[in-house]
Chain A
């Protein structure tokens, strides 16, 4: 009897020891989860629960859409040790162009979107040419791009001012929700279903991954810790889904972000291209000597960035149901900050797409929470700037300790 309780106590001590060990070892990966958690709890206390209301969670996630998409592209750019400062105005300009295509030129929605994405790719290829082939610093190229596309946006909207988009299906991208079947009253049933499937997929993937690791004798976390992790993440997904389902369900924006995240997560973790991108970021000299075409990778990563800028432009324009002269202001800073907060290293080579999405959520939660509390916009800028510095400081300190 006595020995059992002591054994239990021992197991508990071990459990916490392991938790502490994991936390210190993976502080960079877990840091942003902790930050997200702390921010959410703090704001829900400060706003008497309004922050975590279904309505606010829905708004928060939907308004993060275009930044999340940009952050994914920016993550790859930062991994290969470059930067793109022009993404905001590229998004703004292409948002205006899509509006013009649909209003003045009367093109249907789908062709307009495809054209815009292609223009995005072309812009990126040109950046890739200047950066990768000619050897200009990305900072200069994209700073010039920022000016050029700001001017282009002003030209595009000069005659008409704000361009109102009357097309309902286009506007649904930024404002609509996926359809529902009426199964459970008071909830968005399809959303619940998708959430449940998502959680099951997550658990199955983790189990398979663990089994593989055990097969090859890799380090795995202990079973209790593994189960805790599964429960924690499942609860997190479940909670968000439940919140969304209590309001209008999943929005099209969220669906798009999930798809883009999934595609980029797959590319970065499972493909040759992804491996080459991390190699170029980790040590460009070694990558070159390993037969990797660094220039080609630069083309691809910049093309992907500008294509995602185009997508962000579509999401933003659709959300506002119009193209405005000021669209895109400051997006690049939000995207860069979100990527750094999400664990991308300032010296390149390190970063995850999923981490950056969490980073984007952290930044969006901050904005949303501060808005709810009625904090003056000037203070919001100062606080967000501080958070960015703290995140990068954190990155530098944890790296210094290791190497």
Chain B
């Protein structure tokens, strides 16, 4: 029996995808064998999600270069609808279910079973039950999705994918939000499905899971394919994966800091926990943490480890978590009611998402710089405009914000310059402790260097910096001390000179 079907269900050949200023994918090759479980690993920003977005048609044909070959045929997806038709189903980390609808309504949402012009609900329920059996979920199809836990919702998503005759199932960090039982259950299901001939691709940060389940692992780094490892040849182990994931050398893109003397502890938390009513779980558990005057402390860890939650919880808690434990700022126990209290105590927080929660993009540089402390520029509530212009100009010069003048709208600035405005805004609140959340995300290397230089200057002026970063080279290059977080807990504390990428990665996983 001869067949022209190749061993590979999917081949992505020489995929290159560029964003303005950044090559997100650079000649990536990615081959998936029929009927295997293929894991895709890499650091944050390595290009995994971008690759999957190319595959699913989120970035349509023409916006990337290279070929997607599915079952031996070159595909030209114009959108998600096309890739779904071809049998590709992606299940994202953020589930796309309607909580107020029942399980059966959700499963057939968008491709309802019809009888004439009306929906055939009875048939829908019968079919849903079959699909739920397939994913081993023993619940009545009439249950409302909001009454299910995250693990079961994930299974409903997979059932939904099967309702569309899926040939290739892609899961983007499926276990990130699951507890251990649910995770194990999901991995078992994937193995069962493999026996039935279903091919799956799984993106995951959890290397132990990857090792337990993968037939093949492809490692991406900086938008390039680093290697493809075969389990049957015994090529997969944790050290090998980590080495390939972080692999790059640290070159001297990190300016040297002269001063290395630390003063007294300026901020300390003891047994700090945060509970989210919304999510119904602890986001932080018994965190002990301190930072001294003149010190850069890095908070390393994976996305979702609780680092941002930690930062906002000590910054006046704008997200309203239930907090317990002790927060001591400059020797005084604090209980901030509002962000403005934290600012008054000398804490500043440059947020991770500068566009969404950091800056007012429709306003100009001047207004953005002064908004956090505009009161200091006013008399009886009336703004002293000359003084304001002087302040804004001073920061524009100090931080080398590149713009014709301070009346430029933030919308018109590059990411790097927006980030500098964000830093300037917080420096103007005269902080003693500056929290930088992913300070160099999405900005180019030159601007990164400038941000690092600014950090060093601030340290020399006697500030303390808490830097949250997912980029390990940055963590090693810039910090004096490192805390590693995972699942809302501190899993390790290191002096920067003793730390390596491998050690940090191990603690973070």
Contact = CB atoms under 8 A, between A and B. Distances in A.
Interface of A: 212, 216-219, 270-273, 275-276, 278-279, 282-283, 285-293, 349-350, 402-403
16 contacts: A216-B406, A219-B404, A270-B385, A271-B383, A272-B378, A278-B367, A279-B367, A282-B361, A282-B362, A286-B359, A289-B349, A290-B343, A290-B371, A290-B372, A291-B372, A293-B340
A403 B363 CA distance: 13
A291 B357 contact: no
B98 to A, nearest CB: 21
Contacts of A218: 405, 407
Contacts of B221: none
A275 B404 CA distance: 23
Contacts of B404: 219
A291 B370 CA distance: 12
A218 B364 CA distance: 12
B114 interface: no
A292 B362 CA distance: 18
A283 B393 contact: no
Given A216-B389, A293-B338, A402-B411, A286 B357 contact: yes
Closest 4 CB pairs of A and B: A291-B340, A282-B360, A285-B357, A291-B343
Contacts of B322: none
Contact of A283 (B357, B383, B386): B357
Contacts of B342: 291
Contacts of A293: 338, 340
Contact of A275 (B315, B338, B356, B371): B371
A279 B368 CA distance: 9
A133 B387 CA distance: 35
B407 to A, nearest CB: 5
A134 to B, nearest CB: 14
> Which of A217, A219, A282, A286 lies at the interface centre, i.e. has the most chain B CB atoms within 10 A of its CB?
A286
A320 B315 CA distance: 55
Interface in B222-263: none
A292 B343 CA distance: 11
Contacts of A271: 378, 381-383
B362 A350 contact: yes
Given A270-B382, A271-B382, A289 B339 contact: yes
B381 A282 contact: no
Given A270-B383, A289-B318, A291-B338, A403 B411 contact: yes
A272 B359 contact: no
A272 B381 contact: yes
> Which of A219, A272, A290 lies at the interface centre, i.e. has the most chain B CB atoms within 10 A of its CB?
A290
Given A219-B405, A272-B378, A275-B374, A289 B358 contact: yes
Nearest to A273: B381
A349 B362 contact: yes
B375 A272 contact: yes
Given A270-B382, A291-B339, A283 B405 contact: no
Contacts of B425: 290
Contacts of A283: 356-357, 359-361
Contacts of B199: none
A349 B381 contact: no
A222 B505 CA distance: 59
B291 to A, nearest CB: 20
B351 interface: yes
A131 B342 CA distance: 25
B286 to A, nearest CB: 26
Contacts, number: 90
Contacts of B361: 282-283, 403
Interface string B402-430: 00111100010000000000000100010
A186 B381 CA distance: 45
Nearest to B316: A291
Given A282-B361, A292-B340, 9 more contacts: A216-B405, A219-B407, A272-B383, A278-B367, A279-B363, A279-B371, A285-B357, A289-B315, A291-B339
A343 B425 CA distance: 28
Contacts of B359: 283, 286
A94 B349 CA distance: 46
> Which of B315, B372, B386 lies at the interface centre, i.e. has the most chain A CB atoms within 10 A of its CB?
B372
Contacts of B338: 291, 293
A273 B360 CA distance: 16
Contacts of A350: 362
A273 to B, nearest CB: 6
A286 B357 CA distance: 4
A258 to B, nearest CB: 20
Interface string B325-367: 0000000000000111011000001010000111111110001
B339 A290 contact: yes
A275 B382 CA distance: 10
Nearest to A295: B338
B386 A212 contact: yes
Nearest to B360: A282
A246 B357 CA distance: 55
Given A275-B371, A282-B360, A217 B405 contact: yes
A282 B339 contact: no
A260 B316 CA distance: 37
Contacts of A270: 382-383, 385
A289 B316 CA distance: 9
A282 B363 contact: yes
B401 to A, nearest CB: 15
Nearest to A280: B360
B390 to A, nearest CB: 9
A290 B381 CA distance: 17
Contacts of A272: 374-375, 378, 381-383
Interface string B287-317: 0000000000000000000000000000110
B339 A288 contact: yes
A397 to B, nearest CB: 16
Contacts of A217: 405
A340 B384 CA distance: 30
A395 B445 CA distance: 37
Contact of A279 (B315, B318, B360, B429): B360
A384 to B, nearest CB: 29
A216 B106 CA distance: 59
A205 B361 CA distance: 29
A276 B378 CA distance: 13
A48 B386 CA distance: 50
Contacts of B357: 283, 285-286, 289
Contacts of A219: 404-405, 407
B359 to A, nearest CB: 6
Nearest to B390: A216
Contacts of B393: 216
Contacts of B363: 278-279, 282, 349
B362 to A, nearest CB: 5
Contacts of B385: 212, 270
B80 to A, nearest CB: 24
A288 B357 CA distance: 9
Nearest to A278: B363
B367 A286 contact: no
Nearest to A402: B411
Interface string B373-401: 01100100111011001000100000000
A402 B411 CA distance: 9
A228 B239 CA distance: 74
A348 to B, nearest CB: 9
A289 B359 CA distance: 10
Contacts of A292: 340, 371
B463 to A, nearest CB: 18
Contacts of A212: 385-386
A265 to B, nearest CB: 13
A285 B372 contact: no
A218 B386 CA distance: 13
A272 B371 CA distance: 9
A212 B367 CA distance: 17
Nearest to B392: A216
Nearest to B357: A285
